[in-house]
Amino acid sequence: MNNLSKIVLTADGKKIGYVLDVAVDFDTMQKSGYYVVDEESEGEFLLRLQDILCVSESFLLIEDESRLEFVTERKTIFGKQLLGEKAEDFGRLQSLVFGKNKCEKFVTDKAEVASRFVKSVGDDFIMLRLKKRKKNAAKFDFNFSNLDGVVEIQGAQYLREKVPVSAPEKISLSAKYYVGKICTQDILGYNNEKIVGKGEVVTKSVVEKAKKHNKLNHLFFAVKK
């Protein structure tokens, strides 16, 4: 962003205008160039990064005017509102922070937002995708002797008959381990909705719902073995 307002000159001695805005590919978050305005005609042009010969404290030097692409409409994102997925207001965009031509931060009048949280850049506002922190899964010591055929091992490849208890990266039980067992306590979802109640029989749909709400760990300890 520190090249805004710098004068654009050509190697054959012409003053073109000045840098008005930055051009960014928001699918990749890569800077693609700058928008340059001609001071006389007030026309706007796209100057791509690969066509800049050098940059000094006050100037950008290009080979000649043919390196500029005329643009009929420039869509700037500065001043646009940043909103969360629940319409949270993160302020209006004031500047972008780049590292090696990659946009790393969106800076507003209220916050600094890492570019990885930008879901989409629309005509009227910028939508953010705010990730929730994942809860640490509880660690278990499983007894493999009674779980033959229902243990799925994810991660590295292991031979079932030689798997030590601590070897797998992640262990999950198939639905048939739970189905038909009695639940000994109420298990609630993210919004306190009941997944299964105390004394109820676990069904396949209960298992699927527990997976979606990250409650399989609770279900494992709640069912009668």
Q: Would you state the pLDDT for residue 31?
A: 92
For 130-174, the pLDDT digits (tens) are 865 555 544 444 444 444 444 443 433 433 343 444 433 344 567
Residues 12 and 62 in one domain: yes
Q: Would you state the pLDDT for residue 10?
A: 95
For 33-88, the pLDDT digits (tens) are 999 998 778 889 999 999 999 999 999 999 999 999 999 888 788 899 999 988 99
Is residue 139 domain-resident?
no
Q: Would you state the pLDDT for residue 17?
A: 92
Is residue 101 domain-resident?
yes
3-state secondary structure of 197: coil
Core vs surface per residue 2-11: b (16+ CB within 10 A) or e: eeeebbbbbe
Is residue 135 domain-resident?
no
Is residue 14 domain-resident?
yes
Exposed/middle/buried for 129, CB within 10 Å: 0-12, 13-18, 19+?
Answer: exposed
Domain, as residue range, for 102? 81-128
Whole-model pTM above 0.85?
Answer: no
Is residue 181 domain-resident?
yes
Q: Would you state the pLDDT for residue 222?
A: 84
CATH of the domain at 12: 2.30.30.240
With bands split at pLDDT 50, 70 and 90, how would you rate the model's confidence at 178?
Answer: confident
Q: Would you state the pLDDT for residue 154?
A: 41
Give the integer Cα–Cα distance in Å for 7 and 168: 60
Give the integer Cα–Cα distance in Å for 55 and 42: 23
Count of CB atoms within 10 A of residue 114's CB?
12
Residues 17 and 40 in one domain: yes
User: Which residue, among 135, 80, 141, has the nearest Cα to 113 in the 3D structure?
Assistant: 80
